[in-house]
Amino acid sequence: TTGSRLKEMAPFLRLIHNIASGALKGVVSQTCKFDRHVLLHSSCSSFYSTGQYKNLKVEKRGDKQNVTLIQLNRPRAMNALCDALISELNCALNDAETDQNVGAIVITGSERAFAVGADIAEMNKKTYHVVVATEFPNFEAFQKSRKPIIAAVNGYALGGGCELAMMCDIIYAGEKAQFGQPEILLGTIPGAGGTQRLARAIGKSKVMELVLTGNRISAQEAEIAGLVSKVFPPDQLIDETIKMAEKIAGLSKTIVAMCKECVNTGYDMTLTEATHFEKRIFQASFSTHEINEGMTAFVEKRPKFNDG
C-alpha cells in the first residue's frame, strides 16, 4: 500500500532532507574547500607534488607502491561531490595515469559514505545556462584513464556517488553499502550516467524501479544484480581491494590497457562489431613484447612473468 511504501522509504527521505537542510552536522555549512587560484592556475601535477588536495587524501599503496589510493575526504558532508572535489578527483586521476609506476587505481570514501551525491547546497545555485556552459558534471578523467579503476564502496553510494562508482571498472562493496539514484526526490534526474550505466549493469526493470522511486538496494542485492563484483566486511574492504589492485598492477600495463579498452569499447557495439574489434585487438597483441614473454615463460615453466 501507499502507506507502507512511505513508511519503508521514511529513513531515506529523512537522509535526503538532512543532506539538503544541513542537519547532518553541518553538511551545508561546511563549504566545499576550494582554492580557486590553485584549481584554475596550477597544473594537476602540482596537487600531488605539493599535497594541496583539500577534498581528497591520495597515497601510494601496495608492496611495490604501484597502486594509487584516492579517498574522498569531506566527512562532515558525507563526501558530497562539490565542484572542487570533482576537479581534484580529475587531477588525481590524471596524476595516477601519468605515473609510470602505478598500474591500478582505487577510489574510496569513508565507512559511513562513499559519496551521497552532489553537493545540494552548491547545486541549488546553478542555472540551466551554467550547467550547460560548464558541462556539469564533468568526470572527464574517468573516460580518459587507461588504467583500471576500482571503487571500494562502504556506506551510502547515492546519486552522483552511485554514478561515480559505476564509472569505475570494478566495484567492491562493504556489507553495509547501499546504492541508489534518489534524484527524483529532489526534482531532477540522474545526470552522470545513472540511467544508462545502471540499466546496462542491472537491467531496465530494476533501474526503472530505482530511478522512479528513489529506492535503494543493498550491497548483497547489488552483487546478485551484477552491479558489484564482491562484498566484504566493512573493515576488510580496503585491504581486499588493494590486494586485487596489486594483482592487476603486477601484470603487463600494455595488455591490461588493451583488455580495458576492448571491454569498454565493445560494450557500446553490436555483438558482431564487438567481436570483430576484439579480434583486431587480439591480433595487435602479437606485436608486443608481452605475448612473447608470457608464452615463453609458460612453456619454460618459469614461475614469474617478466613484464619488460
Judge whether 118 counts as a catalytic residue. Answer: yes
CA gap 27, 20 in Å, rounded: 8
Burial bucket for residue 4 (CB in 10 Å: 0-12, 13-18, 19+): exposed
Checking DSSP bridges between strand 170-174 and strand 216-218, what pairing results, if any?
unpaired
For the chain, how big is the Rg over CA atoms in Å? 20
89: left (phi over 0), alpha (psi -120 to 50) or beta: alpha
CA gap 103, 268 in Å, rounded: 25
**Do residues 114 and 177 lie in contact, with contact meaning Cβ atoms separated by under 8 Å?**
yes
Question: Which position among 115, 118, 152, 192 bears the catalytic label?
Answer: 118
Question: Which position among 155, 160, 174, 193 bears the catalytic label?
Answer: 160
Give the Å distances, CA to CA, from 178 to 112, 218, 227. Answer: 10, 5, 12
Q: What angle do the packed helices 271-284 and 253-267 form, to 10 degrees?
A: 170
**Do residues 159 and 119 lie in contact, with contact meaning Cβ atoms separated by under 8 Å?**
no
**Do residues 282 and 270 lie in contact, with contact meaning Cβ atoms separated by under 8 Å?**
no
What's the grid cell of residue 5?
511504501
Judge whether 51 counts as a catalytic residue. Answer: no
Question: Which position among 122, 163, 246, 290 bears the catalytic label?
Answer: 163
Question: Which position among 122, 183, 246, 290 bears the catalytic label?
Answer: 183
Judge whether 59 counts as a catalytic residue. Answer: no
Judge whether 135 counts as a catalytic residue. Answer: no
Nearest alpha carbon to residue 160 among 218, 225, 77 = 77
Which residues are annotated as catalytic?
A: 118, 160, 163, 183
